[in-house]
Amino acid sequence: MEINDQIFVLQTKQKNSIPVIDFTKQSLNPGTSSWISTCKAVREAMEEYGCFIAFDNKVDFELRSAVFGFLEELFDLPVEKKMLNTSNIPFFGYIGKMPNADQLYESMGIEDSTTIDAVQSFANLMWPSGNNQFCESMHSYINQVSQLGDMMTRMLFESYGVENYYDSHVKSSSYLLRPNGYKVPKDNEANILGAIPHTDASFLTVLQQNEAPGLEIKSKDGTWISVDFPPSSFVVMAGDALLAWSNGRISPCLHRVTITGKISRYSVGLFSYHNGIVEVPKELADEKYPLKFKPFDHLGYYRFVVPNLALSVEERLKAFCGLQDDIA
């Protein structure tokens, strides 16, 4: 870890209590002591906060700058073009400005984004004469960040002693890429809500941002805390599906975005989702933690979220796949 990053870790620990986990250690290989202690840190952070800040050096500065440069270019396209990004799964396509509406927040989606075909079809919609640079940079970024997401998922499975389920889980999972753009509010509009309080319907979310801060999470005592993380790091959040998979051990963190800055905010999230049925590993249900959830269709859950946005994540999961009253 760079000296500046180390200073940041110390400051973050003092300012807000979101755990910071370092994935840059050379020796972070399965079976080593640093791997085992990092698995434990991931589990503790998820159980306690539903999120953590991750330091990792897989994505280098040039690639990250290229990706965020493309996001600017992407959100600057005419709204009619961005609206071509559609999907039959809720939250997987363009969200934001409708013609003549004045909104600051916009978001787009690339489904099953680790495949070059998915990135290319998206790019062809946005730039019909092609944009090879976009495809190359995005594809390589998505692959590097998804590897980080896979490693974290593996660590979580290992920390619960259920690593034997990991391979089939990952084989049946994909990553949705969602870039978010937030325009700067006008002078008299400080502290505008960019993204409303929500939890992600994903299994796991891995998020990066540019230099414009804004992400906040609700702490257990009910206060909103700013997540102060440098653009080189990631915020990793538990999604709704992880609450069910972990049989109620991990609660996703409620988060929102408040825009205050002088520059436009861009963030990009990779959201893992299961293409089939998510099931609580049988080892995670016992007398202390009786089984609380039926196996459920993750994409079916995404569809269930839309008409049930007013419910808390616990209420929603209980209504969708709960087995008993007390689920979290």
Ligand X SMILES: O=C(O)CCC(=O)C(=O)O
**Residue numbers of the site for Fe ion (CB under 5 A)?**
200
Residue 109: count of CB within 10 angstroms of its CB: 21
Q: Residue 270 or residue 280: which is nearer to ligand X going by CB?
A: 270
Least separation in angstroms between residue 269's CB and ligand X is 5
Residue 128: count of CB within 10 angstroms of its CB: 9
x/- letters, 237..266, toward ligand X (CB under 6 A): ------------------x-x---------
Q: Which does residue 257 touch among ligand X, Fe ion, none (CB within 5 to 8 A, set by kind)?
A: ligand X
Give SS3 for 76: coil
Say how far apart CA 272 and CA 177 lie, in whole Å. Answer: 9
- Greatest Cα pair distance, the chain, in angstroms, is 60
Q: Which stretch binds ligand X (CB under 6 A): 131-139, 207-215, 245-253, 296-304?
A: 207-215
Among 267, 298, 304, 321, which residue sits at the site for ligand X (rule: CB under 6 A)? 267
Q: Residue 51 or residue 280: which is nearer to Fe ion going by CB?
A: 51
Say how far apart CA 113 and CA 178 lie, in whole Å. Answer: 10
Least separation in angstroms between residue 225's CB and ligand X is 14
Say how far apart CA 92 and CA 296 lie, in whole Å. Answer: 19
Among 180, 233, 247, 272, which residue sits at the site for ligand X (rule: CB under 6 A)? 180
Among 195, 250, 280, 284, which residue sits at the site for ligand X (rule: CB under 6 A)? 195
Q: Which does residue 159 touch among Fe ion, ligand X, none (CB within 5 to 8 A, set by kind)?
A: none
Q: Which does residue 169 touch among Fe ion, ligand X, none (CB within 5 to 8 A, set by kind)?
A: none
Which residues have CB under 8 Å from 324's CB, separation 6+?
A: 290, 292
Q: Residue 153 or residue 180: which is nearer to ligand X going by CB?
A: 180
Q: By CB under 6 A, is residue 207 in contact with ligand X?
A: yes
Q: Residue 38 or residue 258: which is nearer to ligand X going by CB?
A: 258
Q: Residue 250 or residue 305: which is nearer to ligand X going by CB?
A: 305
Say how far apart CA 54 and CA 12 lie, in whole Å. Answer: 12
Given a contact cutoff of 8 angstroms between Cβ atoms, the answer to whether 233 and 145 are in contact is no
Q: In degrees to the nearest 10, what's the CA dihedral of 42, 43, 49, 55?
A: 0
Q: By CB under 6 A, is residue 274 in contact with ligand X?
A: no
Phi/psi of residue 111, each to 5°? -75, 150
Which residues have CB under 8 Å from 136's CB, separation 6+?
A: none
- The residues of the shown chain that bind ligand X, judged by CB under 6 A, are 178, 180, 195, 200, 207, 209, 215, 255, 257, 267, 269
